[in-house]
Amino acid sequence: MAHQGDVSGHAEHPMDRRNTLKAIGTVGIAGALGLGTSGTAAADRSDTADGRGSNNPGRIGNYNGAKTLTPPDLGGFDHVLVYLAEPLVEGDWSVVDNAERFQSEIMGRDEETIEADRRAAEAFYEERFGLTFEGDVGLFEPEESTDGSAVLNPFYQDPDVGYNAYMVSGRAMPNNHDDGATNRDDMLAGKVRDGGWIVSITEETTLGGSYGGSDGFDIGAGGTLAYGNYNIKMGDNEDPIVIRYESEHPILPLDMPVAFNCDLFHDEWGEGQVRGTTNIPGGGIRNVLTFPPSL
């Protein structure tokens, strides 16, 4: 998940990134899904000081509706989205066939635009992580990096993973879900259709680019890098929400919930960031997106 302007490199020192990665763990989103009918913003001292009062009700009301009602400026951000996924995977899933479907049918791209998107992904991986893919294979074929340490693959996430946007600020999102799983129907409102060009680290290597810097960043086999689009199905009579994401750092294989951080880009909302966790091997996902990245 629509292309926006160029992405500038991060100036963070490699040692800072090492410290960040050492600290990866669960990201608490308790409270992000509050559905009270009353406002939840904390009282602003300046409000109480000048007599305008606060937004603190005597009681937080219960809500038993079928939709998630969220204010347009939740927490002071322009846009906030929350994705959940509890998988129930049934049957086989052809990565290549469905990657083509994602690009052509869901994203609505012709072959020329799809090729441009793959070239953009290859350019991103080289600039951010120093991995070179020459682009001399078929459009939907896997490709090994020139140093043999990584493989780029087209992908479209299996809808059975249940990835769904249950909260979009300023919108009333329906509570679509299955029995024992989140929504698995990629044509129901709220469904996050997630696809693009993913890189798997297959051998121990040193990442460079703007991420690794002059010292480089050592990474073992099993790491993942991502470039793609979230295409969120909305109403049948409106366009989907399309967001491009790019890995901020490698997604590391850990014996614990795995964190992933990505830079986000939307045609109208501008830049944002995603902070999420996924539970390996179960595959459950908890994901929070904000525009702008911070206040």
How remote is the C-alpha of 187 from its chain's centroid?
19
Q: Could you read off the pLDDT of 43-73 as tens digits, one per residue?
A: 344 444 444 456 777 888 888 888 999 999 9
pLDDT given for residue 211 in this prediction:
97
Write down the pTM of the prediction: 0.81
* Cα angle, residue 56 at apex, residues 51 and 60 outer, rounded to 5°: 160
pLDDT band at 203 (very low <50, low <70, confident <90, very high): very high
So what's the pLDDT on residue 253?
82
User: Tens digits of per-residue pLDDT, 116-136?
Assistant: 999 999 999 999 999 999 999
Lowest-pLDDT range, 8-22, 168-182, 224-238, 276-290?
8-22
Q: Residue range 97-114: average pLDDT?
A: 97
Q: In the predicted model, is pLDDT for residue 82 greater than 90?
A: yes
Q: Is the pLDDT of residue 105 over 50?
A: yes
CB-based burial label for 53 (10 Å; 0-12, 13-18, 19+): exposed
What is the residue whose two structure tokens read 């986000």?
264
Comparison of pLDDT for 7 and 250, the residue scoring more:
250
- pLDDT for the residue 103: 98
The predicted pLDDT at position 53 comes to 54
**What is the pLDDT at residue 96?**
83
Kindly report, residue by residue over 163-197, the tens digit of the pLDDT.
999 999 999 999 999 999 999 999 999 999 999 99
Mean per-residue pLDDT of the chain: 85
pLDDT at 151: 98
pLDDT band for position 19 (cuts 50, 70, 90):
very low
Q: pLDDT tens across 134-149, in order?
A: 999 999 999 999 999 9
